[in-house]
Structure 1
């Protein structure tokens, strides 16, 4: 039996006021079209109905048929406002859901100790009509305890840009190893002899995979052993902006012949911030040193100079996640799959 969904519960999940949700549902002015679309989409996914008998706050266009299924998308709260990567992956998921006539609901599960005695559906999203949940898409890294609780719902799970070998589920990600190999081999082809990597080891599995790819390229693809390329890594606290000035001070104190002649940002955001700092310090790019990133965010093409990078197909990643979920629903007994989307180099003026 479906759980009754209130306007307040919609407001709580969307982070909106009850007033804004009410006006969005009733079609009144006072809310943006983007907000109205978010409210209506969640209301459909949760099976919301007005309390007035015979009325429906969310027109479906076909009231006689049962509500369509929805994909439950688990998204880390920290990534919800990130426009360059996760929002683009999410847009691909939503598009793929729309193509199939599915709805979607987005939650940010954060389970505490007390949740182990609560049914998993209620602990994760108590207001959902779980009978219509087609499956779960997990975007990025979540603690193993959260993934275990998701598995206890009995719904198929697809992990996006994250791997959990102890969980029997499908995984969709970019070939981050290939991305690391690509940037390193490109810089080697440009005759770079001192390569510096700026990364944050503890932030994401994709960062670690890119670093491994770089090291593989440097160790196994070097054609001229008489001109070895040296490699040095700077591990930074990515979310803390102070790393830029701290690294700049380190570079200023290094002998000229030890400074990297090429820099790799483990993602474009790091590469762009560091390239701007190098220019403030009087280093020209690409005159004094090359800079390359990984991601191909929109800002990479408009920076000065435009950033050489490796393209990751973000919207396609989201599309393929929904495809994997549909396949798992249709073929539940097949072996789990790991799908890697290939990457491609985009040479620009920075390297």
Structure 2
């Protein structure tokens, strides 16, 4: 390998100062076009790659933001894969199997987090940062997030994914932004949505459709702040309607489609299904629809079904699923923007950014006349 080009090499090749090279790489719009093109041509010709570690030493910044997700899937459940030892072995280029048409039932639902990640990556790139993603699988002492904190300028975490005491220690070292869940009077910046209010409005719509019919609510995990806010919204709307909240059938899932199927099977085992099933996310709602279809129960003629999140699969289901669309990509982008501002204004008061939701009324909640 040849010796790596330095910023001094680029400056000499372009006939500019190293300060100009730095401005072109960090704020290209601040440099005259002719000079910018000359520097970028030199960067390309020399194959120059800026040294993040050197820049970090000079600026006491790494140029990296961290995004930490809880570990929903267990790594030990993943099938063995050894591509290196079989790289030279003869293997068929494809196989043909009979597809039985059963919808996939992954152990976890990452669709919401996938979209948040997309938004965070996009905004980090626009802001000139690199995004580091950490997943805390089987990480009781939170070593993953603590290790991340030593490598990034700031950290974004999903609400309740890090214990309060651990998060407080991390926040003494770097800025922290909490995604989703309600602000709790802490000193962190928050990016969130109005879970309870939107779910309450959707519940009122469902109650108006079913009249005196029975309603079941498929809640998410009890340790999820978002899930609990949605449960609170449903319960409050039921109580405000004059019904006894004890009449609301409560089941719990883990935000996966498989758990939605299990809940629907439980409802059918207990007798006639309710008039409506309100689910705390789309994946569970789609699992409910899977089982109802197989049992010959018509949606929405026999049972109304609604979800939350607004994933693409909800619009493509049969029938299309009524849901509450979260601004998932915007949540990721907003978290990066808030974190970037915090790095520039460390003494500013904590910010709470609340993004709007959309209630999408579709066929799955429309009771035929």
Unaligned 5+ runs, structure 1: 1-58
1:244 to 261, 267, 290: 261
1:271-330 superposed Cα distances (whole Å, 9 cap, x missing partner): 000011112122101111111111111111111111111100100001110111122223
- Which structure is larger by alpha-carbon Rg, 1 or 2? 2
Change (3 A) 1:164 1:308: closer
- The match for 1:233 is 250
Cα distance in structure 2, aligned partners of 1:148 and 1:61: 36
Q: How does 1:88-237 map to 2 (within 5 A)?
A: 88-108=115-135, 123-125=146-148, 130=151, 133-142=152-161, 143-152=163-172, 154-162=173-181, 165=184, 167-193=186-212, 194-220=214-240, 222=241, 230-236=247-253
TM-superposed CA distance for 1:340, in Å, is: 1.9
Cα distance in structure 2, aligned partners of 1:93 and 1:79: 21
TM-superposed CA distance for 1:230, in Å, is: 4.6
- The match for 2:25 is none
| Other structure's SS at 2:336 match | helix
- The match for 1:277 is 291
Matched, 1:342 2:356: yes
Q: How does 1:235-314 map to 2 (within 5 A)?
A: 235-236=252-253, 241=258, 244-245=261-262, 247-254=264-271, 256=272, 259-314=273-328
Unaligned 5+ runs, structure 2: 1-46, 57-61, 75-107
Cα distance in structure 1, aligned partners of 2:243 and 2:120: 49
**CA RMSD of superposed structures (Å):** 3.6
- The match for 2:347 is 333
TM-superposed CA distance for 1:157, in Å, is: 0.5
After TM superposition, the structure 1 stretch with the greater mean CA deviation from structure 2, 137-146 or 306-315, is 137-146
TM-score by length of 1: 0.69
Cα distance in structure 1, aligned partners of 2:111 and 2:313: 9
Cα distance in structure 2, aligned partners of 1:226 and 1:197: 14
TM-score by length of 2: 0.66
Change (3 A) 1:250 1:174: same
Cα distance in structure 1, aligned partners of 2:257 and 2:325: 25
Cα distance in structure 2, aligned partners of 1:309 and 1:240: 15
Cα distance in structure 2, aligned partners of 1:93 and 1:236: 27
Cα distance in structure 2, aligned partners of 1:336 and 1:229: 39
